[in-house]
Amino acid sequence: MTRNVCVIGMGLIGGSIALSIKKEHDAFITGVDIDQNQLKLGLKLGVIDRMTEDLSEGVEDADLIVLAAPVTKTEQLIDQLKDLPLKEGTIVTDVGSTKTRILKKAAQLSHKGISFIGGHPMAGSHKSGVQAARSHLFENAFYVLTPDKSVEANKIIQLQNWLKGTKARFIELSPGQHDKLAGLISHLPHVVAASLVQQVRHVEKEDELVSRLAAGGFRDITRIASSNPVMWRDILLHNKDTILELIKHFKEEVTRMETMLEEDDEEKILQYFSDAKAFRDGLPSREKGALPAFYDLFVDIPDHPGVISDVTGILGQAGISITNIRIIETRADIMGVLRLTFRSHEDREEGRRHLENSLYETYIMD
């Protein structure tokens, strides 16, 4: 029997969830968005079966409703849904990076016989839009579910069955626990990255050389500062109390280092970096986490015409895609370096094998 699904938000996440559902279920998927171009593209690519800009039309008779929108917009959508005649027993879920406020807002749906189950697929891409949607985007990633205590267990199982095509690893957390952990490993790093960039921006007013020097490693470690500013404003405001507490603890860490430097304490400084290195080196390297992973491969290349097309040609013949390519350094008579970014660990390893078979020297810096 064909079931009806409504995905609100035809972007990367919404499109990828739609594709994963279509892969496993006999489902008719309606896409809802205010951007008609994204809707038309989603229809053309086979991501959805029907498009509409009318929310009430889109959710009519839906067995599953996926709110694939930014957190502030998700709250607005919940306010709209509460006044619509939703089908009895419908499951509503979201994909937001914060959960506490959204779950409180969604409580108003429960009296209508609707089961709201908060969701957060902890995977993404550096691309955006429905054209970048992939059914395997969430494969092996953690997919956090934050059901309210009133939600029946069979509804949680039904949602996981709906989403089994993601091949994600489901984990249940309370909204508060989710927001604390996401704040620590995702939200705070974005704050720190943006702060580092702001510091360089201020110095540039006095010395323009700083931006040229920052074009290398500094640019790499602050990549996440290029994320959508509106989205991150909303996430921080939604998770305000947690972020303020985490910033307080981060200040304490900076003060620890400040004290060690003031006291010229070589032993403590060495131990501080050693402990950080040991913990960081022990983190899982092949699992997907809250921040998008960068599968970079560095390739030494000679200063010779056609070398870049040779590298990309080797990968192309092997059917391996790259998402980004950058020349880090190239000068006359010395080796340059290409940084190739792949979609997955497996693609990177396969690409490395083919390039090394063609006598290119490669290396990874994880």
Quote the CATH superfamily of domain 3-173.
Answer: NAD(P)-binding Rossmann-like Domain (3.40.50.720)
Structure tokens, 81: 């849904």
Residue range(s) in the chain whose domain bears CATH number 3.30.2130.10: 295-363
pLDDT tens digit string along 106-161?
998 887 789 999 999 988 766 678 988 888 888 888 999 999 888 999 999 999 99
For 43-91, the three-class secondary structure string (H helix, E strand, C coil) is HHCCCCCEEECCHHHHHCCCCEEEECCCHHHHHHHHHHHCCCCCCCCCE
Q: Could you tell me which CATH class the domain 178-281 is placed in? A: mainly alpha
Mean pLDDT, range 328-354, rounded to an integer: 78
Q: How far apart are CA 235 and CA 229, in angstroms?
A: 10
Q: What local confidence, expressed as pLDDT, does residue 366 receive?
A: 65
The reported pTM is 0.79
Residue range(s) in the chain whose domain bears CATH number 1.10.3660.10: 178-281
* Domain 295-363, CATH: 3.30.2130.10
Q: What local confidence, expressed as pLDDT, does residue 213 receive?
A: 81
